[in-house]
Amino acid sequence: MNFIEVLSPESVETNVSLNNKTEIIEYLVKLASKTGKVIDSNVVINDVMEREKILSTGIGKGIALPHAKTKGISDFVASLITLKNPIDFDSLDSEPVSICVMLLGLEGQVGTNLKLLSKLSKIINVDEQRNAIIFAKSADDICNLLKKFEE
């Protein structure tokens, strides 16, 4: 399974204005819900927040990858936002984030969860690719970029 298979343009937004980590997570869940794959938003938000308590998913270089295995979804789903202004996300490098990508996986499918996170990390850890996503003007542009980068 490729990352672009779980991310659809309806769950992507650019230039979003939010204030903090909690707002980011709630917004990403709301976007993921547009796909129809989120069964219970409250369960998903709780699972993602519990995962954040273990270790921040602000991985550095302006990137946050909040994720969780959850019963609150019917199938793998992702959402992505670029932020108008970088926001503190308790990142490992203490830098604010500009790109936030949420991956929600099914419980019992650890292998697929890890493969998708790995593929996504490889894409956005490349400076040129990350910058292309940050400066993309639309959800379609971002999805097209990710599809190209994944090939």
Rounded CA gap, 116 and 60, in Å? 18
Catalytic annotation, residues: 67
Q: What is the band of 121 on the pLDDT scale with cuts at 50, 70, 90?
A: confident
Q: Is 151 within the bounds of a domain?
A: no
pLDDT tens-digit map of 81-104: 999 999 999 998 999 999 999 999
Residue pair 75/92 in contact (Cβ under 8 Å)? The answer is: no
Residue with tokens 């369960």: 43
Count of domains in the chain?
1
Is the residue at 60 inside a domain? yes
Residue 82 structural domain: 3-145
For 5-39, the pLDDT digits (tens) are 899 999 999 999 999 999 999 999 999 999 999 99
pLDDT of residue 98: 95
Write the CB contacts of 141 (distance below 8 Å, at least 6 apart in sequence). 14
List, in sequence order, every beta strand (DSSP E) within the chain: 12-16, 58-60, 63-64, 67-70, 77-87, 97-106
C-beta of residue 131 within 8 angstroms of C-beta of residue 93:
no
Q: Evaluate whether residue 80 is within a structural domain.
A: yes
The answer to whether position 24 is within a domain reads: yes
Domain annotation covers residue 150: no
pLDDT digits (tens, 9 = 90+) for 63-86: 999 999 999 999 999 999 999 999
Residue 127, domain member (yes or no): yes
| Cα separation, 84 vs 72, whole angstroms | 29
CATH of the domain at 113: 3.40.930.10
Is it the case that residue 125 has pLDDT exceeding 90? no
DSSP element (H, E) containing 104: strand 97-106
Mean pLDDT confidence for 129-134: 92
Structure tokens given for 48? 């993602």
